[in-house]
Structure 1
Amino acid sequence: MLQFPSKRATSAVLAATAGAAALSLALVSGTSATAAAPPSVSGSPEGAFTRIADFYGSYIDAVHDGDGRTADQLRAFYLSEPLQRELRQWEEANHANGVLRAQNVPLKWKVTSVDSGMGKTNASVTLTWSGSTTTTLHVQADLATRKITSIRD
């Protein structure tokens, strides 16, 4: 006598078939059948470019949180002494933060490698402000010391 599968068995077979179809579609289309991977950040303490990104991320966090002591310590650690002196003069003349070239704190930041050569690495730092306005700074670091030596509009 012919017996039909139970409802439970039928549901399991349908679920497995649907899952296999989704996986096949994902493989054909080049997408993942699972959720997108979480964002990640990586770097190296030996890379001058990474130091630029680390500095801007940490510095903006400290300024945003109103932690002037940490912001000053970050400047002392990441910036060359001549740049620190230059920034103090710029800040006195412009009444703004010389690292950010502004009086307020950006909502987002992005550091992009531009090039490296002749003992220096160059990056552009894009700061996003309210209303999606952006400014770009040109930042240079010394490859040997990994200190940031220049910040320009």
Structure 2
Amino acid sequence: MFQLPTKRATSIALAATAGAAALSFALLAGTSATAAAPPSVSGSPEGAFTRIADFYGSYIDAVYDGDGKTSDQLRAFYLSEPLQGELRQWEESNHADGVLRAQNVPLKWKVTSVDSGMGKTNAAVTLTWSGNTTTTVHVQADLQTKKITAIRD
């Protein structure tokens, strides 16, 4: 005698068919069947390296948005006073932004820890410009004050 499948068997069969279809589509599309982890950013107010990354991210946003007041406030908060003076002189001589070492604003940035020692931490800041060209500035911060003390090409 012929029996119709139970509700549960039908649900399992439908779920298996849907899963196989999704996997097939993912394979054809060249993607993964599992979801990628969402991007994340982390840091700590206690770390000088994190402060370098925080500064560059915020500063680039402010300059990109044309917010001179905020970019000035960020410089005052994150940069040592001697560095602020050095940057003013560099900018007068080079007619460019001393923090970015350029006249325009990068499209992306990446901060990489280089090393720490003797009370300082060092980072390389890679700036990506239109045309996918990159430049790197070398940044040093004081571990005690967490202020950025040097920016060099």
Whether TM-score is above 0.5 comes out as yes
Structure 1, unpaired ranges of 5+: 24-31
TM-score between the two structures when normalised by the length of structure 1: 0.86
Task: Letter of the 1:96 partner, please give it.
Answer: A
Alignment of structure 1 residues 76-87 onto 2, 5 Å:
76-87=76-87
- Residue number in structure 1 paired with 2:48: 48
Q: 1:60 and 1:44 mapped to 2: Cα distance?
A: 20
2:128 is aligned to 128
Paired amino acid for 2:140: Q
Deviations 1:45-82 (A, max 9, x none): 00000000000000000000000000000000000001
Instruction: Determine the C-alpha separation between the residues in 1 that align with 2:85 and 2:40.
Output: 35
Name the SS of the counterpart of 1:56 in structure 2. Answer: helix
Alpha-carbon distance in 1 for matches of 2:51, 2:14: 50
Cα RMSD, aligned residues only: 2.1
Q: Taking structure 2 as the reference length, what is the TM-score of the superposition?
A: 0.86
Partner residue, 2:142 = 142
Identity %: 83
State the distance in 2 between where 1:115 and 1:15 align.
56
Q: CA deviation at 1:16?
A: 4.0
Distance 1:146 1:9 in 2: 62
Amino acid corresponding to residue 75 of structure 2 in structure 1: R
Instruction: Count how many residue pairs are aligned between Structure 1 and Structure 2.
Output: 143
